[in-house]
Amino acid sequence: MKTIITTLNSKFIHKALSLRLLYVACKDHHDVDFVEFTIKEESEMILASLMDFQPDNLVFSVYIWNVEKTMALISTIKARFPAINIIVGGPEVSYDVDHFMDNYQIDYLISGEGEVALNSLLDCIENGQEVSIRGVSSRHKRDHYQTRLVDPSYIESLDSPYVLDKDLKDMKNRILYFETSRGCPYQCQYCLSSLEVGLRFFSVDYLTGQLDAIIASGAKTVKFLDRSFNAKYEHALAILEYIVTKKDAGVVFQFEINGDVLDQRLLDFLTQQVPPDLVRLEIGIQSTYEPTNLIVKRYQNFQRLEQVITTLQQAHNIVLHLDLIAGLPLEKLARFKKSFDDVFALKPKELQLGFLKLLRGTSLRQNHEEYGYEFEQTAPYEITSSADLSAEDIAKIHLVEDMLEKYWNSGRFEATMNKIYERYPSMFDFFLKLGEFYRGRNFKKMGYQLHELYGYLFEFLQKENQALFKELVCDYFTNAKVKPKRFYEPTLSIGEAKKVLHHLVDKGYDQELLFRYSLVERIGNDYIVGIFKDYRVQLICGNWRDIDD
């Protein structure tokens, strides 16, 4: 019997590790293959590609981002090809067996880890045996337990899921997901990881061997799936020490850590031994309000967390991404604003502002009435209001999120945003006012050009009487790889601009570059020249008095 393992990724750049693990676990025992798509692909094209394999069994890995499209696809397959067995697994279906078995034409559902369970299920199907496997439900028999946890040593005995022959041609163009442990030591009540039991680690020898193969394959970005990479000091240090030895391989490694419990020895290693552009860290702060953290069982020492993040920032070798969640219990708009400003003050490279999603199986979803949560009934189950946040409050936070993405996380306004930070007591209020200005002027939220994005902020700052023109122009020139269109009126006449360029030629700059590829502006007592050539920019700044002399 032919079995195809598949999923719909959110983007092409992502690679589903789950498919590859199931494949290497089953390939020596069954006729299996795997193929992945994206949620943006047409369902009919996906269906046609799957049917080219002439499958007897289709196995779908289901996540929050693909559940709606996957279930619709399953309905179509069953209507046209009823003999095909549909098997589903993954975090989205593992904790609500009855909902998915009752409402969709699913033959088998695997709850929990699937490497061993899928092999056993395929044995039963191919041999016509009754399915009686822990964590596996069928149309005739429900099992609400999770499958037995897979011992990491079993995964280590399999072929590598990371460097399969069919993947090698795309390694440098995609994010490779990598796990060094399974399970989570924390019990955050909004997270599916809180439902997992136990924390298991792969051996360091296995991991370094896999990383050797990954690096040799040409991969450029490796994202670790560990819920808390620093949960075990010796394990984390061994991996980091290995990675540092590969600092010249051109690979970036990204980890998720719990910052307030980061061992000082790990912190010292990160700040003193890790070279720039090698490691990125993601730290989930979520809220700085202790009563909220107590309710959701996310215990953290924010004072220690600030110290850790500040130390990492001052080292200037680690890129930091910090996370916040809007909508947690007890955080009214004013209190969430404080959490936002607390975290923004740490000046991360990226501040990820997410909205609470009531995931199937989590404690917050089960107790949603206690907190007055109203939420979307389809994925991603995002809250629309609560006892603490009205729908209007949430709309305001969405405005903040949009402006945060455009003007901070994009990295296009570094000089301007740093000046704004110095002038505004609350960056939450700044982004909210900017968002309301956007909405009032009906500015483009999507499909805008770079000069428009700068022009919108320029117009807002003029309204606010903020003199940040120099910073905006510097940022604009820095981020424009070809000679850009002005978002402002020229500051110099043609003759005045030529005067600056002749001055620079006299100083030894290339005349052709200056006169063919440059923009010249005067801002106060300064001049700025941007030379745009071969998708690179060169900035020249000087004092206007030198021109007059």
Question: For residue 370, what is the domain's CATH number?
Answer: 3.80.30.20
Residue whose token pair is 């923009």: 519
Q: Tell me if 260 sits within 8 A of 228, measured CB to CB.
A: no
Is there a single domain that holds both residue 273 and residue 367? yes
Is there a single domain that holds both residue 504 and residue 479? no
Is there a single domain that holds both residue 243 and residue 312? yes
3-state SS, residue 5: strand
The pLDDT value given to residue 17: 97
The pLDDT value given to residue 549: 64
Please report whether residue 347 resides in a domain.
yes
Is there a single domain that holds both residue 238 and residue 356? yes
Sign of the torsion angle spanned by Cα atoms 410, 414, 416, 420: positive
Is there a single domain that holds both residue 334 and residue 237? yes
Choose the final residue of a domain: 488, 513, 537: 488
Is there a single domain that holds both residue 547 and residue 452? no
The residue range of the domain holding 131 is 2-138
The pLDDT value given to residue 269: 97
Please report whether residue 58 resides in a domain.
yes
* CA distance readout (Å), 58 to 12, 157, 413, 461: 21, 25, 47, 56
CATH number at residue 59: 3.40.50.2300
* Dist CA 329 CA 295 (whole Å): 7
DSSP string, 249-295: S--EEEEEE-GGG--HHHHHHHHHHPPTTSEEEEEEEE---HHHHHH
Residue whose token pair is 């990204």: 254
Q: Tell me if 118 sits within 8 A of 25, measured CB to CB.
A: yes
Is there a single domain that holds both residue 182 and residue 55? no
Is there a single domain that holds both residue 344 and residue 468? no
Please report whether residue 152 resides in a domain.
no
* Dist CA 129 CA 123 (whole Å): 8
The pLDDT value given to residue 481: 85
* Dist CA 187 CA 200 (whole Å): 16
Q: Tell me if 394 sits within 8 A of 327, measured CB to CB.
A: yes
Residue (of 476, 324, 343, 305) closest to 421 by Cα position: 343
Is there a single domain that holds both residue 480 and residue 518? no
The pLDDT value given to residue 360: 95
**Which residues, including other chains, have CB under 8 Å from residue 534's CB and lie 6 or more apart?**
none
Retrieve residue 50's tokens: 């799957």
Choose the final residue of a domain: 334, 356, 388: 388
- Length of the chain counted residue by residue: 549
Please report whether residue 118 resides in a domain.
yes
The runs of H, that is alpha helices, within 95-231 are 97-103, 115-127, 152-157, 204-216
Is there a single domain that holds both residue 425 and residue 546? no
* Dist CA 12 CA 232 (whole Å): 33
Please report whether residue 146 resides in a domain.
no
Please report whether residue 256 resides in a domain.
yes
The residue type found at 436 is E
Sign of the torsion angle spanned by Cα atoms 496, 497, 498, 503: positive
Query: Which residues does the chain have with pLDDT short of 70?
Result: 549
Residue whose token pair is 């191919």: 126
Is there a single domain that holds both residue 46 and residue 14? yes
Please report whether residue 196 resides in a domain.
yes
**Which residues, including other chains, have CB under 8 Å from residue 419's CB and lie 6 or more apart?**
468, 471
Residue (of 282, 285, 329, 279) closest to 305 by Cα position: 285
Q: Tell me if 114 sits within 8 A of 94, measured CB to CB.
A: no
The pLDDT value given to residue 185: 87
Domain count, the chain: 4
Choose the final residue of a domain: 369, 388, 407: 388
Please report whether residue 210 resides in a domain.
yes
pTM comes to 0.94
Is there a single domain that holds both residue 47 and residue 126? yes
